[in-house]
Each structure stands twice: as C-alpha cells, then as structure tokens.
Amino acid sequence: MENPLEKQVLAATLAVEQQVDAELERLDKAAEDEDELEVLRRKRLESMKSAQRQRQEWLASGHGVYEELADESEFFAVSKKSRFFVCHFFRSSTPRCKIVDKHLALLAPRHLETRFSRIDAERSKFLVERLRVKVMPTICLAKDGKTVDYIAGFDDLGGTDEFSTEMMEWRIARAGVIEYSGDLLSPPLSGGTKAKLLGDRTKKTIRGGQDSDDSDDDD
C-alpha cells in the first residue's frame, strides 16, 4: 500500500505541475497575442502612411480647393488626371451660379478625393455644345474621364434656392464621384422640401452630352 504521505506529496506535485503548465500556456498565448497586435500595429501604421501620401498627392493636384479652370484644355487635362471630377458650368450674369459656388467651395475641402472646379460657359463654347449644357447652372460629374451625371438647375436639389450643402453633397454622391457614408436613398431634406430620387443615368464620355431638351434658363 502507498504511504499516505507519498500520496499527499504526489498530489501536491501534480498540482504544482498543472499550475506551471497553465502558466506556460498563458505566457505562450500572451506572446502570440502580442505578435498579432504588433502585426496589426504595423499594418495600421502603413495604412496611415499610405493615406497621408495619397492626401499629399491630391493636394498637389489641386484637390481640396474650388478653383476656376482657365480654359477648355485645362478642363480635359483635369478630367483625365483626377479620377473624380466635379465641374460647375457657370455664367457670371446668372445669380444662382453664385449659390452653387458657395456650396461647392464648402464641399471641396471635405472631399479631397474629388477635384472641384468651375468653368465659364461663355468662354467654353466647344464644351457647352459637346456636353449640351443648356441650363445655368449645370454641374458636370465625371469619373475616370467620363461624364456619369449632370445636375442641371435646382430641381434635383429640392427645387429651391435654399437647399443645404448637405443636399448638394448627397446629390453629387448619387453619381458616385465622392465618398459618402450616408443613405443614398434618403436625401437630407430640411424645411419640408422634397427632392426627386433619381435613377441610374446612362454613362457618357466627356465628349457626350445631356439628354435634356431644357432651354437656357437664368431662373
């Protein structure tokens, strides 16, 4: 028969071994978790560095500000250089063009991924004809060098001069030329205004035009 003392010593030894094994397992697991955390930290840091490089490239390409294009050749150059491009065709004698200017100037620094510009329709006859710009103001929305949508007048913005910058942002996002985290099916309406929910429009190259029969309209 085993000595009771030997049984106690054996039991105590087994208990200690179990505790040691558990501690070793905990330390191994902690080391694995630490390695995983370090990998995640490195990936996160590289992602931040990449985002910063992209930000600098956008700023160097004229993103982040709302500026007027000098001529039609610059329009084509910008549309090829910037993946996302928003361009307002304006006429200085049309008051509502100034309303568009106000909102686009606010959106440009919010969306560095997109180039925001304006061009004088009176000095861009070739573009106006090619794109069939008939309503002032008209905003051309382009992606990868192709026009994907237009905002002609304010009908798509609630049919009022008092639409918000967020409403303009939502409408541009519907064309997929800015990054947008909101609900594209629900416009950020205010003051009881209503806007039309727009279906997909046929994509056209930058040399195409609107399928609109609207006449030039200062109102």
Which residue did the predictor score with more confidence, 174 or 61? 174
In angstroms, rounded to a whole number, what is the distance separating the alpha carbons of residues 66 and 117? 5
Above 60 in pLDDT, residue 195?
no
In angstroms, rounded to a whole number, what is the distance separating the alpha carbons of residues 36 and 171? 42
Closest among 86, 62, 68, 184 to 143, alpha carbons compared: 86
Across the chain, how many H-helices and E-strands are there?
5, 6
Segment 136-143 shows an average pLDDT of: 96
pLDDT at site 167 = 96
**How does pLDDT run across 2-29, given as a tens digit for each residue?**
566 566 666 667 777 778 778 777 777 7
Of the listed ranges 70-84, 95-109, 150-164, 191-205, the least confidently predicted one is 191-205
pTM of the predicted model as reported, rounded to 2 decimal places: 0.69
Above 60 in pLDDT, residue 182?
yes
**How does pLDDT run across 149-175, given as a tens digit for each residue?**
999 999 999 999 999 999 999 999 999
- Taking a C-beta distance cutoff of 8 angstroms, is the pair 157, 195 a contact? yes
What top-level class would CATH report for the domain 66-205? alpha beta
